Chains A and B, each alone.
Chain A
Amino acid sequence: MHMADVLLSPAVGGTMWAASSSAIAYCSAKVRKELDERKVPLMGVLGAFLFAAQMINFSIPGTGSSGHLGGGLLLTILLGPHAAFLTIASVLIVQALFFADGGLLALGCNIFNLGFFPAFVAYPYIYKKIAGERPSQARITFAAVAAAVAGLLLGAFAVVLETVSSGITSLPFWTFVVLMQPIHLVIGIVEGFVTAAVVSFVYKARPEILQGPVETRPVAGHSLRNVLLAFLAAAVLTGGVVSWFASGDPDGLEWSIAKVTGKDELKGPEHGIHGMLAAMQEKIAFLPNYSFKIPAEAKSDGPGAEGGAKSKGEGSKLGTSLSGIVGGLITLVIVFLAGFLLKRRSRAA
């Protein structure tokens, strides 16, 4: 369920980065202040454990397929929300860098989707409430399944919101919701049962491990409020800053519309480099006026179909798209050659 860079706009990615990094700062301060220093190596090693555990598969009864642990909820049960949030974040960073799961810009989203919901929503409000102080096997199972399902559904919903507000994919909101939620309901149920299996094993073997975080943890409502406030403040701040920049510099759609209508080209030739290039262009062009013909044709059959303004837009777009494709191919060749030459040089050196 990792969110990917390709689906994100910088505004959404940046906002989530700010939100997640302020949560990391808050949790780091919390872990430093109130927990015993034994926790630091424990968190690191448990993060590595999560890696190992994610690689081990189990067969899912009745389906013939296999699954693996996600682990967000398990870590929270073992470590408490703050330490678990940091551990999940660090696992996600390693996954983004080494396995390209998600991506660097999407890290903020992924840390939020996979860390915040299990650690600060599903664990304190669902798992703890159901499991109670002295849990039985049945209670652990029920609590884990409910909490895992809630965490995953919330996370999946956040993925939908982040993707749709980025606007890179054309998928409509409700279609996406309908695609995502049922899958994550099933994943959540499986995750819940696996978490319950591991937790009840540990509870039988070393019950004191599970009592640790329960006793040293602060009151859930209080900590959640602080984290939420930090998230909110960071999100509002960056959202504001980013949108301010975005409106100053015509971006995305506005930019492409300006390109289609050719408005900013009117100013173009006055710039030094444009004038120079235009002069050079007349001499260099080895396919002169080739692309000009296509827009002319498009214009002639355009109005019948769609009307004046639009076909004019399409016409000039056609011209640019052809030169864009030709130029793109040339660029790729140049890039390839540059890499090749540099490589040879660095080998020779």
Chain B
Amino acid sequence: MASIEGTILDFRLLDQLATGGTSLHKIDARAKVLVALVFILSVVSFDRYALTALFPFFLYPAVVLALGNLPAGYFVKKVALFLPFALAVGMLNPLFDREVMVRLGPFDISGGWVSCASIVVRAILTISAALLLVGVTGFPEICRALERLGVPQAFAVQLLFLYRYIFVLTEEGARSSRARELRSFGGKGLGIGSYGSLVGHLLLRTWMRADRIHMSMLARGFTGEFHALQPSRFGGKELLYLLGWSALFIVLRLRNVSLLLGSLVTGAPQ
């Protein structure tokens, strides 16, 4: 994270993508949340050496990106930011798992390298599924979907509150942090002492803000739930979306489509 302001801007951009009006955006959030979960479950349920069998799963992010009219470059960049981490985790595998698994001409590829590549591919798939879910649904809608899927109301309301005030408070934090940096010379004054009182003040202001929010909510007759203007419905379109994708993921999980295609071309037995 380079700067706090940069992070907030990035956050806002993802938030705004969810306001798009494509047919994918209009599908009830519950269907999209469930499809994303089925997708992630199918991807992570492969054994550690699965690699080519994972490739057909790229169909889902590609279709969501296209139908949701989302900026592909933005998501590629966001996912790429996490690849060093996935690679760092995966790089340990070649060290511990040196048994040769694949021989391609003169090259011997150990099981460790295969599982390392598998970890990277999994990371790309699961991270993009989560980000695309937000990009095509929006966080408030996801919270409402969670509530209607059975998440306790107190928790769903708490999530909505959190989301509503993230922007306010991160901006306030960013301003305080910048002010402190401008007043420090040669790194002096950035230690725990000043940090403690800076964050402490932020905390006290937050606390008082919460009191004010609560009073104004009471004044407006808040009873513990947020109302949506257009309550969306889980209809035939949603059922089709959910069942269609789930069926595809299950087929792709059980049959290695890459291998089928490959053996179709090379003529090898599967």
A interface list, Cβ under 8 A from B: 4-10, 13-14, 21, 24-25, 27-29, 31-32, 37-38, 40-49, 51-53, 55-61, 66, 69, 78, 86-87, 89-91, 93-94, 96-98, 100, 103-105, 167-172, 193-194, 197-198, 200-202, 205-206, 209, 251-253, 255-256, 262, 265, 268, 277, 280-282, 284-292, 294, 298, 314, 316-328, 330-332, 335-336, 338-343, 346-347
| A253 adjacent to B47 (CB under 8 Å) | yes
Q: Which of B41, B115, B257 contacts A10 (CB 8 A)?
A: B41
| B169 adjacent to A327 (CB under 8 Å) | no
Q: Considering the complex, give the chain A residue whose CB is closest to the CB of B164.
A: A44
Instruction: State how many angstroms separate the Cβ of A295 from the closest Cβ of chain B.
Output: 8
Q: Which of B1, B72, B127, B262 contacts A322 (CB 8 A)?
A: B262
CA distance A7 to B270 in the complex (A): 28
| A41 adjacent to B214 (CB under 8 Å) | yes
| A335 adjacent to B58 (CB under 8 Å) | yes
Q: Mark B185-224, 1 if CB is under 8 A from A, else 0.
A: 0010011111111111111101101110110010000001
CA distance A322 to B267 in the complex (A): 11
10 sampled A-B residue pairs with Cβ under 8 A: A38-B210, A42-B207, A42-B210, A170-B115, A201-B197, A205-B200, A265-B270, A292-B268, A318-B103, A320-B263
B264: A residues at CB distance < 8 A: 277, 280-281, 284-285, 327
B164: A residues at CB distance < 8 A: 44, 48
CA distance A5 to B126 in the complex (A): 7
| B159 adjacent to A325 (CB under 8 Å) | no
| A320 adjacent to B267 (CB under 8 Å) | no
CA distance A319 to B155 in the complex (A): 52
| B202 adjacent to A52 (CB under 8 Å) | yes
| B257 adjacent to A49 (CB under 8 Å) | no
| A97 adjacent to B133 (CB under 8 Å) | yes
A197: B residues at CB distance < 8 A: 192-193, 195-197, 199-200
CA distance A109 to B154 in the complex (A): 21
| A48 adjacent to B217 (CB under 8 Å) | no
| A40 adjacent to B89 (CB under 8 Å) | no
Main secondary structure of the interface of A (DSSP, over half): helix
CA distance A326 to B55 in the complex (A): 11
| A38 adjacent to B122 (CB under 8 Å) | no
| A52 adjacent to B169 (CB under 8 Å) | yes
Q: Mark B102-125, 1 if CB is under 8 A from A, else 0.
A: 111000000010010001001100
Q: Tell me, yes or no, whether B82 is within 8 Å of chain A by CB.
A: yes
Instruction: State how many angstroms separate the Cβ of A188 from the closest Cβ of chain B.
Output: 15
B201: A residues at CB distance < 8 A: 201
B82: A residues at CB distance < 8 A: 100
CA distance A306 to B266 in the complex (A): 28
Q: Which of A28, A52, A292, A322 contacts B152 (CB 8 A)?
A: A28
CA distance A45 to B203 in the complex (A): 10
| A172 adjacent to B200 (CB under 8 Å) | no
